[in-house]
Amino acid sequence: MFQKFSKLGLLYLSCAFTIIGTDVLAKSDSNVSLSPFEKAELKRLLELDFRDLGRVPIRSVLGYELEYWRNPASVHVIRPDDISLNGHVLMVDSFRNVAGMYVTRGVGYDDFVTMRNFSGSATEKFLTLVDGREVLQHMGGTINWTTEDVPLSILDRVEIIRGAGASIWGTNAVSGVVNVVTKHAAATQGSSVRLVMQHDGTFLGEYVHGGKFKDSFYRVWVRDQEYAEGELMSGLRARDDGYARKAGFRYDKALGPDLDFTFAGGFATRRVDHAMDLSSRLLYPTDPNYSLLPNPYLPADGFGLLPIASNDEFPFIPISKASSLPFLPSQTSYSTWPAPNGFTSPTAIPRIDNYEEMPQDGSHLRAKLSGVTGNDLEWSLAGYAELYDTSLGHIGHSWERKEYDLDFRANKPIGDSHHLSFGSAFRRMSFDVNDVVTSPWAFSTFDPETNSSSTSIPILDYGASPTKFDRVTAFFQDSIDLSDDIVLSIGSKFEDGDLSGTNFQPGARISYTLNEQNIFWGAYSRAYRQASLVEQFTKVSYARVWDPVNSIWLNQSFSGDPSFNDEQMDAYEFGWRMRPNADLLIELSLYHYDTKDAVFSGPPVYSLSDVKTTGGELTFDYRASDTWHLQGGYSYSRGKKDGAVQVDFPESMASLTSHMKIRDNLLFSQNLYYTDDRIIPSAYNEIPIEEYLRLDLGLVWRLKEDWEIGLFGRDLLDSDHPENMYNDLDVEPGKVERTFLLSITKEF
């Protein structure tokens, strides 16, 4: 099929010159002309290297190839230059330039991404795929962006589809889809090296080599990433240094003129440490005569859940804020409490920490057959195998995940007015979970659930919960040309799984081409989000309370609920895409999400809530001249949880990117980001985050065709600021500090 792509490149080139000639003739014939959308696409094609013309990516949200500007959805495409020219180290950094996406950092190795204010939590409630492979970590509902990142020279594009895509992609495609696509091995022939060095010692190095064997193409690559230690919000050492190392390969072979075979794989290992602060999990009553035996704040006698609050009704405070010390368990602490940034605890109280390793190893294999039949049926059959071994040593929780997937997808035009997309998939997933009690958490505690004292009560306890899960899915979608200007797409995804239950996820999209400059579109989708294994099956011992009357510690816990498998959302969207000329693109997107039974974690119980989210995004892309390119966006989003306005997501965000050529080989880069204020939710220590303005500046020098050197300063307006932490596992975020970095890329 690669030969076919090469022929397609020649076709694009010949068409380009034909269109140019046609456009010239159009000056004398007003009936023959290109629309601004077509002119912009032509300019982009002419700017491509000839070798890339055969691999022009055409984006789609309908299950088949379609030009970007025809898609009835908010689509943002990130290419390698969008990462390197803006001084981003990993692709997740570049998501800051996408309207509606909220990117934050906890400590040095933790990045969090939320899209369109769906619950504002640390769990990524959108679907992420890397070459068709779903990369969600099902245990906690998160994505390890470091593990799933790829070297820049093999990245083709990142397609970010904002808005529910359930009818094609299925469960977890709730607030959107992030689709990472790597290059064909034929496009990475030769070798390349990329080095990124930060002033604090953080380092990234990548090496990629591609070659050819007869009529087959291959590549291999390695990456090393070193993390320097940072600081926590309070000024304490973050202890977030460590490393991440990866390696991968890809083999592509054309089995025939319309049949391709791909075999690829990768291995990643990460070694970092984490300091778990336990001080806020140890609670002390302000009344020295108070006892939980029985709990007087519950309607019935006996034990119960203790709401964590510092008020008159429930007068319990973290032990770190107590005026006098009760019995403290044997432990080792590396610090004492400071008092900046809203921390009011006395320095005499020791900060109780558990400092442990957090190793993670992951590997995967991917095999894919794809082709086109004589009747224009385009199809692919892919198989995936994954093995992940993850340990959260600071809380004593670890698991091994094995997963096998088989996925078939196809699309075919039917007549002149229909284009069908369909497919099916099967998944088998198994877990081996281990929970242990960590020091200094191993001290005698009375557990109301078992009515006994024990030194073996872990923070997370998966117990005898299910460990094997299967899932079967199928989808069908028909895109119908109702007229030359109106296209309607309707379809549904069917799923039956041990985790998500049985459901249908219907969707409909319609686009209307008003004229050559304006396209309108609308969409409806019913999307489902699969609760994590922690939310469904894990007992969480969130706190221990000192009983001064009986001189004992009492364990407080809550358990997951297996019925949390139907978090569903009705999504409504409207969009307007306008291109008044070939150099200016403006897009407006409006949406409303109505979510039933949204899962929210946090003591004393997991809660189900109704969430309504309303918002919009306004973006533009303007080529002011041959030497100046401007891009920007503004997003507004307001969410209400059971009628109350959510404060854990910034209502307003904005970005502005400017690339200006000082000389042909010297480019000046500027990125400006604005983020509204928010409150980081936590059952232990809610932290307000003030609004902040971030400025990144850079110079990129391209020597000949095979050298690129970049010098960047990031967060230049502020020496440091906090952004995020993992809800209910951490109680203090790290500082995002001003940094300076040097990037060097060499191809040979």
Residue 17 has pLDDT above 70, yes or no: no
Cα angle vertex 157, ends 15, 272, to 5°?
170
- In a 10 Å sphere around its CB, with 0-12 CB exposed, 13-18 middle and 19+ buried, how is residue 265 labelled? middle
| pLDDT at residue number 608 | 83
Give yes or no for a contact between 190 and 210, defined as CB atoms under 8 angstroms apart. yes
Of 160-164, 302-306, 459-463, the range with the lowest mean pLDDT is: 302-306
Residue 669 has pLDDT above 90, yes or no: yes
Write the pLDDT tens digit of every residue in 326-336: 556 555 444 44
pLDDT at residue 347 in the model: 42
Which pLDDT does position 158 carry in this prediction?
A: 93
pLDDT at 701 over 70: yes
Among 63-72, 106-115, 590-599, which is the least confidently predicted range?
63-72
Confidence of residue 292 (pLDDT cuts 50, 70, 90): low
Residue partners of 663: CB distance under 8 A and separation at least 6: none
Q: Highest mean pLDDT range out of 135-144, 189-198, 231-240, 561-570?
A: 189-198
Asked whether residue 458 carries a pLDDT value surpassing 50, the answer given is: yes
Band the pLDDT of 344: cuts 50, 70, 90.
very low
Map tokens 């007087």 to a residue. Answer: 296
d(CA 319, CA 328): 9
Rounded mean pLDDT, 58-65: 72
Q: What is d(CA 175, CA 161) in angstroms, rounded to the nearest whole number?
A: 9
Quick one: residue 319, left, alpha or beta (phi over 0 = left, psi -120 to 50 = alpha)? Answer: alpha
The values of phi and psi at residue 91, to 5°, are -65, -30
- The Cα–Cα gap between 132 and 147 comes to 16
**Average model confidence (pLDDT) across the chain:** 83
Q: What is the mean pLDDT of residues 508-527?
A: 94
Grade residue 121 by pLDDT with cuts at 50, 70 and 90: low
> Which 3-state string (H, E, C) describes 278-321?
CHHHEEEECCCCCCCCCCCCCCCCCCCCCCCCECCCCEEEEHHH
Beta-bridged to residue 400, according to DSSP, are 389, 432
Instruction: Tell me the whole-structure pTM to 2 decimals.
Output: 0.88
Both tokens of 264, joined, read 């690829």
pLDDT at 34: 72
Say if residue 7's pLDDT is above 80.
no
In the predicted structure, residue 684 carries a pLDDT above the cut 80: no
Helix (H) or strand (E) holding 42: helix 36-47
DSSP for 167-209, written as a single string: HHH-TT-SSEEEEEEEPPGGGG-EEEEEEEEETTS-EEEEEEE
pLDDT number for residue 583: 92
Tokens 């500090």 found at = 737
Taking the C-alpha atoms of residue 640 and residue 645, their distance in angstroms, rounded to an integer, is 4
Stronger pLDDT, 321 or 390, i.e. the higher one: 390
Q: Which of 185-189, 352-356, 719-723 has the lowest mean pLDDT?
A: 352-356
**φ, ψ dihedrals at 370, nearest 5°:** -145, 150
CB distance 177 to 129 below 8 Å: yes
Instruction: Write out pLDDT tens, residues 244-287.
Output: 999 999 999 999 989 999 999 999 999 998 877 777 788 777 66
Q: What is the token pair recorded at 354?
A: 């558990």
CA distance 402 to 534: 17
Count the neighbouring beta carbons within 10 Å of the beta carbon of residue 7: 12
Q: How far apart (Å, rounded) are the C-alpha atoms in residues 556 and 447?
A: 7
* CATH placement of domain 76-278+356-747: 2.40.170.20
Q: Which helix (H) or strand (E) holds 83?
A: helix 80-84
- Of 411-415, 468-472, 656-660, 728-732, the one with minimum mean pLDDT is 728-732
* pLDDT average, residue stretch 515-539: 91
Q: What is the pLDDT of residues 351-372, one digit of tens each?
A: 677 788 899 999 999 999 999 9
Residue 184 has pLDDT above 60, yes or no: yes
Assign 733 a pLDDT band (cuts: 50, 70, 90): confident
pLDDT (average), residues 619-625: 94
213 pLDDT higher than 50: yes
How far is residue 55's CA from residue 80's CA, in Å, rounded to a whole number? 15
The H or E element that residue 623 is part of is: strand 607-625
Report the pLDDT value the prediction gives residue 6, as an integer from 0 to 100: 42
80 prior amide bond cis, ω within 30: no
Cis peptide before 299 (omega within 30 of 0): no
The Cα–Cα gap between 214 and 253 comes to 10
* Mean pLDDT value across residues 577-591: 94
Cα dihedral 103, 109, 110, 111 in deg (nearest 10) = 20
**Alpha-carbon gap, residue 552 to 544, rounded angstroms:** 10
In eight-state DSSP terms, residue 733 is P
pLDDT bucket at 682, cuts 50 / 70 / 90: confident
Lowest mean per-residue pLDDT among 288-297, 340-349, 565-574, 692-701: 340-349
Domain-wise residue ranges, the chain: 2-56, 76-278+356-747
What's the mean pLDDT in 722-734? 77
Can you read off the two tokens belonging to residue 584? 């200016």
